[in-house]
Amino acid sequence: MHELSLSSAIVNTVVKHAAGRRVSVVSLRVGHLRQVVPDSLEFYFEFVARGTVCEGARLEQELVPAVLRCDACTTGWEMDLPFFRCPECGGSEVTVTSGNEFEVESIEVEEVQCIGPR
């Protein structure tokens, strides 16, 4: 359900960088820990984009796995269930190496070429 709020955040970020140009593609990096449902995000994005330079743009989502590392014993693992304790030593201090991303990576914009007088 948070995909609606997240879609608004994406559109606001993109509009800022598009500087008035029409946007055809939005590339997003989405970490596993954000609990985003890709189809749902796409659905809301299309809706929220209406009436903005993002209208009709394609949303590309790169899913980033959750990778953790134990600060105590340096064991690294890819997480599926949200278990944040180190599976080796039981340590509670862990670093999330990846998986928290919710990032607009790039956008593709349409440039209108200036045709000057010859």
Binding residues for other proteins (CB under 8 A)? 1-2, 5-6, 9-10, 12-14, 17-18, 24, 28, 33-35, 81-85, 92, 101-113
CA distance 71 to 101: 20
* Nearest distance, CB of residue 17 and other proteins, angstroms: 5
Q: Which is nearer to other proteins, 14 or 49 (CB)?
A: 14
Phi, psi angle pair for 35, to nearest 5°: 55, 45
CA distance 100 to 63: 11
* Nearest distance, CB of residue 118 and other proteins, angstroms: 19
* Nearest distance, CB of residue 98 and other proteins, angstroms: 14
Q: Which is nearer to other proteins, 42 or 108 (CB)?
A: 108
